[in-house]
Chain A
């Protein structure tokens, strides 16, 4: 093993230990922080799913939250008192992923033959439409309970372990959110693994070719429509998984959780971190997921101290930060904070004489 390889493994081990011990450290500060970490992990799941669509295949999806919503509602309808169905977690989650993928195909099939920018606006509209349907499908047959949302969604249960309660394992007390943290971490690792394997596969290279030059990719014999559809469906199914997890963790969902802002937030995470680079996307998701918390701890007290009242709502500052991040990253660091290896290689080649 080379010296570099040893450093790499030491780094991985360090990160692994940190990730495993993080919830214990966070719970010292309060269970709320573990919940925040869980939300951040959910965003990482979403960002990794969207990264397949935007980062790998270069398709801008502005309605990604629709698939998140589909997964969440699939879970909520199949595991809550609303219809009296209580299917187990490991049955519902794949169903949610499959339904989300189906929606992805339905939306992608007519639009993916066309140029990428149509897709952006069609997905934007699709996100809004899904929300309109969720809001109105309480009439004449009550399917979604409309704006009231669905309550009392079953928590995740695997065997005898109920993820909503505290347990003690080998004398260590694990609270509900902490257990969810480890579950989310496991799901995230699985999705990272899928992402990494995809990236270096024949499919991943086809996506890359499409992203760089669609006409050339087609000339090389890649079935561009099928490949784009695959990316879209796969990204959608990951969104569905994240949605199912969200429904289980929160126990309550309503159309309010699936607004356009959420889509924009996930796009910002992918763009800021570095489109196509898995580590970058994770970094972007974690950074932006903590922005609201950071603002709560800095901007709010600062405004109270300076002006005696709140002049600018943190929510607005958050959105302005997202908007500025999108513009500034594209202008000054188009490959993101952590550029993908391919992009870096290209930039270096450009510089070489």
Chain B
């Protein structure tokens, strides 16, 4: 039971970060039906920029929270700029092109960003300096750290903020109008190009914060961290129903929990000795014959993605929509 609660807490923390990244995918998809492959790289750049600043300030003697905030404060504008630049240069010229075209440029942008990051930061792993004192709280027999609590709180605050932005402001109304029908939105006086650019910028800003959080959580950042994170977040967005903002939040949290519980239990569940099926030689004296260990953790997001696509392609909260050819 302790392990269950512990994995639940770990899963929710990671899931909250997935949700924030998934929001970036889902907002862009909702408006222009483009899978922004490069979004994972934006998250990576956010983490790398923040880590560079944090490492530079680590010795300055500022309070740890201030250091991390300054790091995030530097990462957010950089990512917003990257998000805007890629929309402007790689996606906007192709808005009327066949669907395959922006998808291919998105992959190109993702490769370019990843390798530019490698040029700037080298192949080495950036480590998070030991500035945050580890505080732990006990919670139903499990341990929750201060960092985890902060990440969870911040993620929920950002989700609430985004919900307010989308459902309560003029920009949000314009975004929803553009998502429904760009042509009619334009006729109603919405500057569609500005709205789309704003969507990319907001998504990138969220991605930057997510990058700082995931980096702080794991304690490391590297130029390759974006692609798997991006893939998982996309799976989360599809799980919740792509294009659907509350869906991305639910999908992210759920995926994080599935992944953590899966990684925690798959070893036990696929231990053939438990079922009396394993070869006698390995099962003797309480031995194990584990088919799949926790090193298959990265597979779960993908399995979830496939299952959702097979059984409920519109996701948990999404509506069934036809092809817009």
Contacts and interface: CB of A to CB of B under 8 A. Distances in A.
Interface of A: 54, 58, 60, 62, 110-111, 113-118, 120-122, 124-126, 128-129, 132, 136, 139-140, 213-216, 260, 264, 267, 271, 275, 312, 316, 319-320, 322-327, 330-331, 334
Contact of A125 (B89, B114, B292, B305): B305
B105 to A, nearest CB: 5
Given A323-B108, A327-B112, A129 B100 contact: no
A90 B103 CA distance: 38
B187 interface: no
Interface stretch (B142-150, B178-186, B227-235): B227-235
Given A116-B99, A117-B103, A323-B111, A331 B296 contact: no
A54 B98 CA distance: 13
A324 B105 CA distance: 9
Main DSSP-derived SS at the A contact region: helix
B14 to A, nearest CB: 18
A319 B107 CA distance: 12
21 contacts: A110-B306, A110-B309, A111-B306, A111-B309, A117-B35, A118-B309, A120-B35, A125-B302, A129-B302, A140-B290, A216-B325, A264-B107, A320-B116, A323-B108, A323-B109, A324-B108, A327-B89, A327-B105, A330-B97, A334-B97, A334-B101
B299 interface: yes
B115 A121 contact: no
Given A114-B313, A323-B108, A331-B93, A60 B305 contact: no
Contacts of A139: 290, 293
A111 B313 CA distance: 9
Given A132-B299, A215-B325, A316-B115, 20 more contacts: A114-B309, A117-B33, A120-B35, A120-B103, A122-B305, A129-B302, A139-B293, A140-B291, A312-B119, A316-B118, A319-B114, A320-B116, A323-B107, A323-B108, A323-B109, A324-B112, A326-B107, A327-B90, A330-B104, A331-B105
Contact of A330 (B94, B118, B291, B293): B94
Contacts of B97: 330, 334
Given A117-B35, A118-B238, A320 B293 contact: no
User: When A and B form their complex, which 5 residue pairs have the shortest distance between CB atoms, in order from nearest?
Assistant: A326-B108, A323-B111, A323-B112, A327-B108, A215-B325
Nearest to B86: A327
Contacts of A128: 228, 231, 298, 302
A113 B312 CA distance: 12
B323 interface: yes
A115 to B, nearest CB: 6
B306 A122 contact: yes
Nearest to B111: A323
Contacts, number: 127
A62 B37 CA distance: 11
A222 to B, nearest CB: 14
B217 interface: no
B255 to A, nearest CB: 13
B302 A58 contact: no
B302 A126 contact: yes
Interface string B106-142: 0111111011101100000000000000000000000
Contact of B295 (A136, A319, A320): A136
A215 B116 CA distance: 40
B59 interface: no
A156 B277 CA distance: 40
A213 B102 CA distance: 17
Nearest to A328: B108
Given A114-B313, A264-B111, A271-B104, A124 B325 contact: no
Contact of A122 (B37, B118, B291, B309): B309
A70 B243 CA distance: 34
Contacts of B325: 213-216
Contacts of B109: 323, 327
A58 B231 contact: no
B169 interface: no
Given A125-B235, A132-B298, A260-B227, A320 B115 contact: yes
Contact of B115 (A54, A323, A331): A323
Contacts of B290: 139-140
A351 to B, nearest CB: 17
Nearest to B29: A117
